[in-house]
Protein backbone atom coordinates (compact mmCIF):
# COMPACT_ATOMS: atom_id res chain seq x y z
CA UNK A 1 0.00 0.00 0.00
CA UNK A 2 1.35 3.44 -0.84
CA UNK A 3 0.39 7.10 -0.72
CA UNK A 4 0.17 9.27 -3.84
CA UNK A 5 -0.89 12.83 -4.44
CA UNK A 6 -3.00 13.01 -7.57
CA UNK A 7 -5.43 15.47 -9.20
CA UNK A 8 -9.16 15.70 -9.67
CA UNK A 9 -9.78 15.45 -13.44
CA UNK A 10 -13.53 15.79 -13.36
CA UNK A 11 -16.78 14.82 -11.73
CA UNK A 12 -20.18 13.74 -13.03
CA UNK A 13 -23.55 12.66 -11.70
CA UNK A 14 -24.06 8.90 -12.13
CA UNK A 15 -27.40 8.66 -10.31
CA UNK A 16 -29.59 10.83 -8.11
CA UNK A 17 -27.37 12.50 -5.48
CA UNK A 18 -24.52 10.25 -6.58
CA UNK A 19 -21.29 11.59 -8.05
CA UNK A 20 -18.34 9.94 -9.74
CA UNK A 21 -14.93 11.54 -9.27
CA UNK A 22 -12.27 11.03 -11.94
CA UNK A 23 -8.67 11.18 -10.71
CA UNK A 24 -5.36 11.02 -12.54
CA UNK A 25 -3.90 7.55 -12.15
CA UNK A 26 -0.48 8.04 -10.55
CA UNK A 27 2.45 6.54 -12.49
CA UNK A 28 3.14 3.04 -11.23
CA UNK A 29 -0.18 2.73 -9.38
CA UNK A 30 -1.61 -0.74 -9.88
CA UNK A 31 -4.59 -2.50 -8.36
CA UNK A 32 -6.87 -5.48 -8.77
CA UNK A 33 -10.49 -4.99 -9.88
CA UNK A 34 -12.63 -4.85 -6.73
CA UNK A 35 -10.02 -3.18 -4.55
CA UNK A 36 -10.46 0.14 -2.70
CA UNK A 37 -8.46 3.25 -1.87
CA UNK A 38 -8.59 5.81 0.88
CA UNK A 39 -9.25 9.28 -0.53
CA UNK A 40 -7.61 11.86 1.72
CA UNK A 41 -8.47 15.53 1.40
CA UNK A 42 -5.41 17.75 1.59
CA UNK A 43 -7.37 20.43 3.40
CA UNK A 44 -9.02 18.88 6.44
CA UNK A 45 -12.73 19.70 6.45
CA UNK A 46 -13.27 19.01 10.15
CA UNK A 47 -11.38 18.99 13.39
CA UNK A 48 -10.36 15.33 13.22
CA UNK A 49 -8.14 13.60 10.69
CA UNK A 50 -10.81 10.91 10.18
CA UNK A 51 -13.19 13.39 8.57
CA UNK A 52 -10.56 14.03 5.87
CA UNK A 53 -10.36 10.36 4.86
CA UNK A 54 -12.91 8.01 3.29
CA UNK A 55 -12.60 4.56 1.78
CA UNK A 56 -13.98 4.08 -1.73
CA UNK A 57 -13.89 1.13 -4.09
CA UNK A 58 -12.34 1.86 -7.46
CA UNK A 59 -15.02 1.89 -10.18
CA UNK A 60 -12.60 2.05 -13.10
CA UNK A 61 -10.77 -1.05 -14.26
CA UNK A 62 -6.98 -1.46 -14.28
CA UNK A 63 -6.86 -1.18 -18.10
CA UNK A 64 -8.29 2.35 -17.93
CA UNK A 65 -5.91 5.28 -17.62
CA UNK A 66 -7.78 7.06 -14.81
CA UNK A 67 -9.10 6.19 -11.36
CA UNK A 68 -12.81 6.65 -10.73
CA UNK A 69 -14.61 6.52 -7.40
CA UNK A 70 -18.33 7.12 -6.87
CA UNK A 71 -20.38 7.98 -3.82
CA UNK A 72 -23.79 9.08 -2.62
CA UNK A 73 -23.45 12.81 -1.86
CA UNK A 74 -24.74 12.84 1.70
CA UNK A 75 -24.36 16.08 3.65
CA UNK A 76 -21.14 15.33 5.55
CA UNK A 77 -18.05 17.53 5.96
CA UNK A 78 -15.93 15.25 3.77
CA UNK A 79 -18.44 15.10 0.94
CA UNK A 80 -19.15 18.82 1.01
CA UNK A 81 -15.43 19.51 0.48
CA UNK A 82 -15.00 16.75 -2.10
CA UNK A 83 -18.06 17.92 -4.05
CA UNK A 84 -16.77 21.50 -4.18
CA UNK A 85 -13.10 20.77 -5.02
CA UNK A 86 -12.01 22.66 -8.14
CA UNK A 87 -11.02 20.55 -11.13
CA UNK A 88 -7.24 20.16 -11.05
CA UNK A 89 -7.09 20.30 -7.24
CA UNK A 90 -4.64 17.98 -5.48
CA UNK A 91 -6.01 15.00 -3.60
CA UNK A 92 -4.18 12.17 -1.83
CA UNK A 93 -4.94 8.50 -2.24
CA UNK A 94 -3.71 5.58 -0.17
CA UNK A 95 -3.91 2.00 -1.26
CA UNK A 96 -4.94 -0.11 -2.97
CA UNK A 97 -6.27 -2.63 -0.47
CA UNK A 98 -9.05 -5.15 -0.04
CA UNK A 99 -9.73 -8.68 -1.14
CA UNK A 100 -13.15 -8.41 -2.80
CA UNK A 101 -11.48 -9.55 -6.00
CA UNK A 102 -12.52 -12.15 -8.54
CA UNK A 103 -11.60 -15.77 -7.73
CA UNK A 104 -9.11 -17.48 -10.02
CA UNK A 105 -11.06 -20.62 -10.93
CA UNK A 106 -12.59 -19.46 -14.23
CA UNK A 107 -14.86 -22.53 -14.37
CA UNK A 108 -16.80 -21.26 -11.36
CA UNK A 109 -19.28 -18.44 -12.06
CA UNK A 110 -19.39 -15.31 -9.90
CA UNK A 111 -22.65 -13.91 -8.55
CA UNK A 112 -22.33 -10.26 -7.51
CA UNK A 113 -25.04 -8.89 -5.22
CA UNK A 114 -24.96 -5.09 -4.99
CA UNK A 115 -27.09 -2.83 -2.85
CA UNK A 116 -27.11 0.74 -4.17
CA UNK A 117 -23.65 2.26 -4.32
CA UNK A 118 -22.26 -1.19 -3.42
CA UNK A 119 -22.10 -1.64 -7.21
CA UNK A 120 -18.71 0.14 -7.33
CA UNK A 121 -16.28 -2.78 -6.83
CA UNK A 122 -18.27 -4.90 -9.29
CA UNK A 123 -18.08 -2.23 -12.00
CA UNK A 124 -14.30 -2.57 -12.01
CA UNK A 125 -14.45 -6.37 -12.04
CA UNK A 126 -17.01 -6.54 -14.88
CA UNK A 127 -15.32 -3.83 -16.97
CA UNK A 128 -11.94 -5.61 -16.73
CA UNK A 129 -13.42 -9.07 -17.36
CA UNK A 130 -15.20 -7.86 -20.51
CA UNK A 131 -12.08 -6.03 -21.69
CA UNK A 132 -10.00 -9.20 -21.22
CA UNK A 133 -12.66 -11.44 -22.80
CA UNK A 134 -12.73 -13.68 -19.72
CA UNK A 135 -14.67 -16.90 -20.31
CA UNK A 136 -16.12 -16.78 -16.78
CA UNK A 137 -19.85 -16.31 -16.24
CA UNK A 138 -20.63 -13.16 -14.26
CA UNK A 139 -24.12 -12.70 -12.81
CA UNK A 140 -25.02 -9.35 -11.33
CA UNK A 141 -27.97 -8.84 -8.98
CA UNK A 142 -28.45 -5.12 -8.42
CA UNK A 143 -30.94 -3.76 -5.89
CA UNK A 144 -31.97 -0.10 -5.71
CA UNK A 145 -34.96 1.84 -4.51
CA UNK A 146 -35.65 3.37 -7.94
CA UNK A 147 -33.99 3.46 -11.37
CA UNK A 148 -32.98 7.07 -10.60
CA UNK A 149 -30.78 5.71 -7.77
CA UNK A 150 -29.09 2.97 -9.79
CA UNK A 151 -25.60 4.18 -10.71
CA UNK A 152 -24.14 2.77 -13.94
CA UNK A 153 -27.37 0.88 -14.75
CA UNK A 154 -27.34 1.77 -18.46
CA UNK A 155 -23.65 0.81 -18.79
CA UNK A 156 -24.39 -2.55 -17.17
CA UNK A 157 -27.39 -3.12 -19.47
CA UNK A 158 -25.14 -2.37 -22.42
CA UNK A 159 -22.41 -4.73 -21.17
CA UNK A 160 -25.01 -7.48 -20.77
CA UNK A 161 -26.38 -6.91 -24.28
CA UNK A 162 -22.97 -7.38 -25.89
CA UNK A 163 -21.50 -10.12 -23.67
CA UNK A 164 -23.08 -13.55 -23.32
CA UNK A 165 -21.04 -14.17 -20.15
CA UNK A 166 -22.58 -11.18 -18.34
CA UNK A 167 -26.11 -11.41 -16.92
CA UNK A 168 -27.78 -8.56 -15.09
CA UNK A 169 -30.92 -8.70 -12.96
CA UNK A 170 -31.75 -5.32 -11.46
CA UNK A 171 -34.59 -4.95 -9.00
CA UNK A 172 -36.33 -1.84 -7.64
CA UNK A 173 -37.73 -1.80 -4.12
CA UNK A 174 -39.54 1.57 -3.98
CA UNK A 175 -41.05 2.27 -7.39
CA UNK A 176 -43.90 4.23 -5.81
CA UNK A 177 -41.42 7.11 -5.38
CA UNK A 178 -40.12 6.94 -8.95
CA UNK A 179 -40.87 9.21 -11.87
CA UNK A 180 -39.38 6.70 -14.34
CA UNK A 181 -40.87 3.56 -15.80
CA UNK A 182 -39.51 0.12 -14.84
CA UNK A 183 -40.52 -3.15 -16.46
CA UNK A 184 -38.01 -5.31 -14.55
CA UNK A 185 -38.31 -7.10 -11.21
CA UNK A 186 -39.49 -5.27 -8.09
CA UNK A 187 -38.92 -6.01 -4.44
CA UNK A 188 -35.97 -7.04 -2.31
CA UNK A 189 -33.62 -9.86 -3.17
CA UNK A 190 -34.89 -12.84 -1.19
CA UNK A 191 -34.36 -16.58 -1.14
CA UNK A 192 -36.57 -17.25 -4.18
CA UNK A 193 -34.86 -14.45 -6.13
CA UNK A 194 -31.40 -15.89 -5.35
CA UNK A 195 -32.44 -19.42 -6.22
CA UNK A 196 -33.83 -18.30 -9.58
CA UNK A 197 -30.69 -16.27 -10.32
CA UNK A 198 -28.29 -19.11 -9.54
CA UNK A 199 -30.38 -22.08 -10.71
CA UNK A 200 -28.29 -22.77 -13.83
CA UNK A 201 -24.89 -22.03 -12.24
CA UNK A 202 -22.48 -24.75 -11.13
CA UNK A 203 -20.69 -23.95 -7.86
CA UNK A 204 -20.88 -20.15 -8.01
CA UNK A 205 -18.91 -17.89 -5.69
CA UNK A 206 -21.06 -15.10 -4.21
CA UNK A 207 -19.92 -11.52 -3.61
CA UNK A 208 -22.01 -8.99 -1.65
CA UNK A 209 -21.41 -5.23 -1.28
CA UNK A 210 -23.60 -2.48 0.10
CA UNK A 211 -25.07 -1.19 3.35
CA UNK A 212 -24.37 -3.44 6.37
CA UNK A 213 -28.06 -4.42 6.69
CA UNK A 214 -28.18 -5.70 3.12
CA UNK A 215 -24.87 -7.54 3.47
CA UNK A 216 -26.00 -9.27 6.66
CA UNK A 217 -29.38 -10.19 5.17
CA UNK A 218 -27.81 -11.58 1.99
CA UNK A 219 -25.26 -13.66 3.91
CA UNK A 220 -28.09 -15.11 6.01
CA UNK A 221 -30.27 -15.79 2.98
CA UNK A 222 -27.38 -17.43 1.13
CA UNK A 223 -26.66 -19.61 4.17
CA UNK A 224 -30.37 -20.52 4.29
CA UNK A 225 -30.23 -21.67 0.66
CA UNK A 226 -27.30 -23.93 1.54
CA UNK A 227 -24.37 -21.77 0.36
CA UNK A 228 -21.24 -22.34 2.44
CA UNK A 229 -19.57 -19.31 4.08
CA UNK A 230 -16.37 -20.18 2.19
CA UNK A 231 -18.22 -19.26 -1.03
CA UNK A 232 -19.45 -15.86 0.17
CA UNK A 233 -17.26 -12.73 0.12
CA UNK A 234 -18.56 -9.38 1.24
CA UNK A 235 -17.83 -5.71 1.86
CA UNK A 236 -19.93 -3.45 4.06
CA UNK A 237 -20.34 0.23 3.14
CA UNK A 238 -21.11 2.12 6.37
CA UNK A 239 -22.83 5.47 6.50
CA UNK A 240 -26.07 4.72 4.59
Ligand X SMILES: Cc1cc2nc3c(=O)[nH]c(=O)nc-3n(C[C@H](O)[C@H](O)[C@H](O)COP(=O)(O)OP(=O)(O)OC[C@H]3O[C@@H](n4cnc5c(N)ncnc54)[C@H](O)[C@@H]3O)c2cc1C
Site of interaction with ligand X (CB under 6 A): 36, 54-57, 69-72, 74, 76, 78-79, 98, 117, 120, 235, 237-239
- 29 vs 237, beta carbon nearer ligand X: 237
- The least distance separating ligand X from the CB of residue 224, rounded to whole angstroms, comes to 26
Cis peptide before 108 (omega within 30 of 0): no
Distance in angstroms (rounded) separating the CA atoms of residues 34 and 170 = 20
- The least distance separating ligand X from the CB of residue 182, rounded to whole angstroms, comes to 23
- Give alpha helix (H) positions in the chain: 77-84, 120-132, 153-162, 191-198, 212-224
- 3 vs 203, beta carbon nearer ligand X: 3
- The least distance separating ligand X from the CB of residue 91, rounded to whole angstroms, comes to 15
- 72 vs 145, beta carbon nearer ligand X: 72
| Per-residue DSSP letter, 134 | -
- 45 vs 185, beta carbon nearer ligand X: 45
> Looking at the chain, which runs of residues are DSSP E strands?
2-15, 18-24, 36-40, 53-57, 66-72, 90-97, 110-115, 138-144, 166-172, 205-210, 232-236
8 A C-beta contact, residue 188 and residue 198: no
Distance in angstroms (rounded) separating the CA atoms of residues 78 and 89 = 15
- 46 vs 187, beta carbon nearer ligand X: 46
Q: Are strands 18-24 and 66-72 parallel, antiparallel or unpaired?
A: antiparallel
Question: What are 15's strand-pairing partners?
Answer: 18
In the complex, which residue's CB is closest to ligand X? 239
- 55 vs 173, beta carbon nearer ligand X: 55
Distance in angstroms (rounded) separating the CA atoms of residues 13 and 154 = 13
Distance in angstroms (rounded) separating the CA atoms of residues 93 and 21 = 13
- The least distance separating ligand X from the CB of residue 54, rounded to whole angstroms, comes to 4
Which residues contact residue 21 at a Cβ distance below 8 angstroms, ignoring those fewer than 6 apart? 8, 10, 11, 39, 68, 69, 70, 71, 82
- The least distance separating ligand X from the CB of residue 36, rounded to whole angstroms, comes to 4
- 206 vs 237, beta carbon nearer ligand X: 237
- The least distance separating ligand X from the CB of residue 237, rounded to whole angstroms, comes to 4
- The least distance separating ligand X from the CB of residue 190, rounded to whole angstroms, comes to 25
Amino acid sequence: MSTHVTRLQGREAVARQTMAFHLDKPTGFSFKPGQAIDVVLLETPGTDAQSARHTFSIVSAPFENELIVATRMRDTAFKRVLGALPIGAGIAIEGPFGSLTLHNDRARPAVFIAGGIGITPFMSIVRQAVHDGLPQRLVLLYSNRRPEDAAYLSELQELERHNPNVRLTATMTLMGDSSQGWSGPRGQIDEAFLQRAAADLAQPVFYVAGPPGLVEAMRQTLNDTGVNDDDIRSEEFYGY
